[in-house]
Structure 1
């Protein structure tokens, strides 16, 4: 078996996942944190596990009998910051109630109306480095774009958005960000969100509220159904936390894949030039399948014994569904290790499956399509400025993305 979770694995986990799919598709593995969990790598088993009601999202089901306790299976800092009550940590009926409330605020109409602003943000970021002829696309494009986008959608004032940029950098260990770790950033974000929610609730009471997502969450809670301030803060937090890093990785991994596959990139550039939105949308789905931003679905815990892929999973044991492995399963996808932007019937699991299917997927898709189309249009001769083996990856659990992506292109001082 190839080694798991070392630096070589982070750079290219797919050979190890192919071995697991063939030889041990549901395997109990000790993670770098010390927690033991079942890794699920085949598509059919993964799809079953993602929708199985016996697998809870609530970390309280992590067995007390575990020698490693409960403290290492969630987002660092979310428990101490009182941010546990979000959609990634709860089951029905609370999940059903919260998702219905959030869906009232996070509507397709709101996402579609935001498209022009995402294009403005993408163009503005490219303007900031286009004249240099070189850039780090993670630090200067893929990272700030979703941060500013989700901040604006939530209703974070522009004068406060740099704080979120800093806190997000602490979560991703971005260059130039102060050290302090995820937990510290989460606590700072929690304090700010509590204050912002209180301010927006007062504005709504005076009929001065704006049409932003936090105001929408508060409005939904004030009309017949109950959303506590803790729940509102937790939902805003998870939209920020889950909404920015997945999109950073989608843009970064997607751009890197296109640069490594010039023939496929040419297909997409023609589609962008011709305004073929259908091919652009399909290309983003293939990039999500081929090297998606989420390596593993977030934690699940058995509420009772069950059999998964022929293995007995006992009550309280953690289960991690490896989306990156399932989406390259040859039993589901023809030539799964090939990037094919024209692939049909692409039922990948990049945004999950079942009741926990990613609520923010439409926004992430919009940002991914806009970011890639704008980049290919504005910088048509974009090329890598480093050898692939010089690049370093963040990965090993849940998310997977490049730490940096140095590129070169013909300098320009106009669009």
Structure 2
């Protein structure tokens, strides 16, 4: 009997993308690991409990390189180059070390004035009274501007770049995703070539100057930084504002205690993880995950969203609570593949939230929040738009 999809496990009349957490809770009540069908990718094991997820994320027998998959025939798909998410140590270690210095706490602190200036420019363009879509007007352009600045993407190219990236992470069809991958590959190759010609400095300069990167790895690195460097932060910013508006008591608490901005971002990461699940990992040899036998070549996904709502780790997990201890939430993963850009995402979200509440203090949903569209894919989940009323 084939495994069910998560959508097939969703009760009638409910939308999985809008609220997947009851499905995860029902699965978790039956065990930490389940066989599910991932549309377009086949059957996989899904880890939904916190402790099992944390252990799986550090298990060296689970590899990110697709060549460990029993169904592997060719890399194929829509990947642009070969990046850190598709590699294991020592290749992963070498690739990560190349760019890690650009995402340290010190580097992000130095970048903070640019983040704040960008946020203020965007806020100036928002109405003091009336309605606007926070995603299109604020949550999206802020991280896009910052990450494109780091890789010297010309301002005129940023809208089309985001359209390609959006299609790859939330594909409308196989054909459109393939076309977007081809377009983005061509664009990135040109960007890197221009960086080499003009002897670029900073992050782009380090990439083009790296003598030990193959052309495929160079493309993959640029792709991962540009796409992962903004897509998830868009969802984090909009998701945090959505959660606060849906919980007026917590919004009032944050207004009274602005120092809770950082905790608000962390609770949002736990409560509505933008990275819904990890990329597929593949068993290099047989292993057990919390008593479930995984065969060599099987694919495994860790549900970061489900793990961060495990009641054994977070009491009353469906409650949005700024005073909660969010220590050990898994929104950024864990282990060797812990998100390299976590300090940047945290800084952008905290700046965006603090300045939004300061400069547009009167906020409300401009439409019934129950009608909002949540986009989801194998990996990501976030709001398509967030219409707000100002003033």
Q: More deviation in 329-338 or 127-136? A: 127-136
Counterpart-to-counterpart distance in 1, 2:167 and 2:24: 29
Cross-structure match for 1:115: 112
Q: More deviation in 20-29 or 187-196? A: 187-196
Matches for 1:109-148 after TM superposition, within 5 Å: 109-131=106-128, 133-148=130-145
Question: Is 1:53 the counterpart of 2:60 in the alignment?
Answer: yes
Question: Is 1:21 the counterpart of 2:28 in the alignment?
Answer: yes
Matches for 1:298-377 after TM superposition, within 5 Å: 298-344=279-325, 346-377=327-358
* Cα distance, 1:168 vs structure 2: 3.5
* Cα distance, 1:93 vs structure 2: 0.8
Structure 2 unaligned blocks of 5 or more: 9-13
Task: From the superposition, tell whether residues 171 and 363 of structure 1 become closer, same or farther in structure 2 (CA, over 3 Å).
Answer: same
Counterpart-to-counterpart distance in 2, 1:172 and 1:271: 36
With the length of structure 2 as denominator, give the TM-score of the two structures.
0.91
Structure 1 unaligned blocks of 5 or more: 411-415
Per-residue deviation, residues 380-403 of structure 1 (Å, max 9, x unmatched): 111001112211111252111111
Instruction: Say if 1:106 and 1:213, in contact at 8 Å, map to a contact too.
Output: no
Instruction: Say if 2:266 and 2:326, in contact at 8 Å, map to a contact too.
Output: no
Instruction: Say if 1:62 and 1:70, in contact at 8 Å, map to a contact too.
Output: no
Question: Is 1:247 the counterpart of 2:233 in the alignment?
Answer: yes
Counterpart-to-counterpart distance in 1, 2:40 and 2:216: 28
Task: From the superposition, tell whether residues 173 and 129 of structure 1 become closer, same or farther in structure 2 (CA, over 3 Å).
Answer: farther
1:8 aligned counterpart, secondary structure: coil
Counterpart-to-counterpart distance in 2, 1:61 and 1:90: 11
Cross-structure match for 2:207: 217
Task: From the superposition, tell whether residues 40 and 370 of structure 1 become closer, same or farther in structure 2 (CA, over 3 Å).
Answer: same
Question: Is 1:95 the counterpart of 2:96 in the alignment?
Answer: no
Counterpart-to-counterpart distance in 2, 1:371 and 1:398: 24
2:301 aligned counterpart, secondary structure: strand
Question: Is 1:167 the counterpart of 2:164 in the alignment?
Answer: yes
* Cα distance, 1:328 vs structure 2: 0.8
Equivalent pairs, count: 383
Counterpart-to-counterpart distance in 2, 1:236 and 1:2: 36
Cross-structure match for 2:242: 256
Residue of 360, 363, 368 corresponding to 1:387: 368
Note the aligned Cα RMSD (angstroms). 2.4
* Cα distance, 1:301 vs structure 2: 0.6
Counterpart-to-counterpart distance in 2, 1:265 and 1:333: 21
Counterpart-to-counterpart distance in 1, 2:164 and 2:33: 36
Counterpart-to-counterpart distance in 2, 1:387 and 1:95: 45
Task: From the superposition, tell whether residues 227 and 34 of structure 1 become closer, same or farther in structure 2 (CA, over 3 Å).
Answer: closer
Instruction: Say if 2:267 and 2:321, in contact at 8 Å, map to a contact too.
Output: yes
Instruction: Say if 1:2 and 1:19, in contact at 8 Å, map to a contact too.
Output: no
Counterpart-to-counterpart distance in 1, 2:137 and 2:170: 14
Runs of 4+ aligned structure 1 residues displaced above 6 Å come to: 69-72
Matches for 1:190-209 after TM superposition, within 5 Å: 190-204=185-199, 209=200
Instruction: Say if 1:147 and 1:164, in contact at 8 Å, map to a contact too.
Output: no
Task: From the superposition, tell whether residues 173 and 307 of structure 1 become closer, same or farther in structure 2 (CA, over 3 Å).
Answer: closer
With the length of structure 1 as denominator, give the TM-score of the two structures.
0.86
1:408 aligned counterpart, secondary structure: strand
Question: Is 1:281 the counterpart of 2:262 in the alignment?
Answer: yes
Counterpart-to-counterpart distance in 1, 2:32 and 2:106: 40
* Cα distance, 1:373 vs structure 2: 1.2
* Cα distance, 1:368 vs structure 2: 0.8
* Cα distance, 1:244 vs structure 2: 1.4
Instruction: Say if 2:65 and 2:282, in contact at 8 Å, map to a contact too.
Output: yes
Counterpart-to-counterpart distance in 2, 1:327 and 1:355: 19
Instruction: Say if 1:5 and 1:396, in contact at 8 Å, map to a contact too.
Output: no
* Cα distance, 1:107 vs structure 2: 3.8
